[in-house]
Amino acid sequence: TKSRLQNTPFSYFEMGTDEMIQRELNILNQLQFGIKNKELTVYLQPKINLLTNEIEGFEALARWNSPVLGNVSPAEFIPIAEKSGKINEIDNLILRKVLIFQNHRQTNGLKMIPIAVNISPVHFYSESFINDFLSLVAEYHISPHYIKIEVTESVELFDFVKAKEILLELKKLGYESSIDDFGVGFSSLSYLQQLPFSEIKIDRSFINDIENSDMHAVVQTIVQLADKLRMHVVAEGIETSEQYSILQKIGCKSGQGFYFHKPMPLEEAQNLLDSISEK
């Protein structure tokens, strides 16, 4: 029913199969309009240096407020966009918004920090990714240092040769890439070592359970491994001071999470950056 459609967060647990199919169809239909009518926006979540507490970057996260469906989480609409061939357009739209943000700061001589965009593996492995990416960044003249990409590993799509080729090309041009949600997917360590990622982002589910001694050991091992491979390591989803202090002790150098900042609208991120540069 209508009122139910407008309820967020949306719960698939309460739905039957028919309802789930209907919901997906609704999202798919509305997403077409949403992309065209600029209903998608970007939020930025700060990435924190855990040694100094300073903000060292942002991650760009898509937000969708549909006049028909209300707020729809990317956790829900990104997989549907991936299945229906809409994901490249969404990634590119978010990247463009980030480039415009950075370009504005650069043009006005304001403080800049790197911003990471999420690229779906569906898009990353598609024929058009490198061209999409390079032609978009070429429009805005931002130093590659200020744009990063995050790719979630995907068991189904993983292609070692292609991943290496794309990552190397990006690296040659000065763009750094992160492996996102590390630990929950494929994560073959021998592949990881051979792929030119500069950063590992440890999945939020690991950080959530870090007070458990087994999980503590797992995260510690990932951090030590990253150090050996000379990769930067970021803990995702830090929500409590206990998690924060464990990560500091383990030697994890960066983190993100609601404990520090939730993702925020661009204007708020502008103000936050401006307040830092005044200090």
Mark the segment that binds ligand C2E (CB under 6 A) among 4-12, 67-75, 127-135, 158-166.
67-75
Residue with Cβ nearer Mg ion (68 or 215):
215
> Tokens in use for 275?
């307040």
Stretch that binds ligand C2E, among 30-38, 104-112, 136-144, 234-242 (CB under 6 A): 234-242
Rounded Cα distance, 143 and 174, in Å: 8
Tokens of 58: 């942002």
Question: Could you give the C-alpha distances from 86 to 33, 34, 121, in angstroms and in order?
Answer: 12, 11, 13
Question: What backbone torsions phi and psi does residue 245 show, to the nearest 5 degrees?
Answer: -75, -30
**CB of 84 closer than 8 Å to CB of 29:** no
- Determine which residue in the list 66, 88, 92, 152 makes contact with Mg ion, applying CB under 5 A: 152
Helices 160-172 and 129-140: angle between axes, nearest 10 degrees? 10
Cα distance between residue 54 and residue 193, in whole Å: 29
Length of the chain: 279
Number of residues that bind ligand C2E (CB under 6 A): 27
Taking the complex as a whole, the smallest distance from the CB of residue 116 to Mg ion amounts, in Å, to 7
10 Å Cβ neighbour count for 51? Answer: 11
If contact means CB under 5 to 8 A according to the sort of partner, which of ligand C2E, Mg ion, none does residue 243 touch? none
Q: Exactly one of 88, 92, 102, 152 binds ligand C2E (CB under 6 A); which one?
A: 152
Q: Is 199 in the site for ligand C2E (CB under 6 A)?
A: no
Q: Does 91 bind ligand C2E (CB under 6 A)?
A: yes
Q: Does 73 bind ligand C2E (CB under 6 A)?
A: yes
The tokens describing 81, both together, are 């966009």
The per-residue DSSP string of 228-278 comes to HTT-EEEE----SHHHHHHHHHHT--EE-STTT---EEHHHHHHHHHHHHH
The number of angstroms, rounded, from the C-alpha of 233 to the middle of its chain's C-alpha atoms is 14
Q: Which of 30, 92, 102, 118 forms a contact with Mg ion (CB under 5 A)?
A: 118
Q: Is 150 in the site for Mg ion (CB under 5 A)?
A: yes
Which 94-133 positions form the footprint of ligand C2E (CB under 6 A)? 94, 118-120
Q: Are 186 and 153 in contact (CB under 8 A)?
A: yes
Q: Can residue 147 be called a binding residue for ligand C2E (CB under 6 A)?
A: no
Which C-beta is closer to ligand C2E: that of 91 or that of 199?
A: 91
Q: Is residue 258 involved in binding ligand C2E (CB under 6 A)?
A: yes
178 binds ligand C2E (CB under 6 A): no
Closer to ligand C2E at the Cβ: 102 or 109? Answer: 102
Tell me if 57 contacts ligand C2E by CB under 6 A.
no
Cα 267 from chain centroid?
19
Residues in contact with Mg ion by the rule CB under 5 A: 118, 150, 152, 180-181, 236
Residues in contact with ligand C2E by the rule CB under 6 A: 45, 61-62, 73-75, 78, 87, 90-91, 94, 118-120, 150, 152, 180-181, 204, 236-239, 256-258, 263
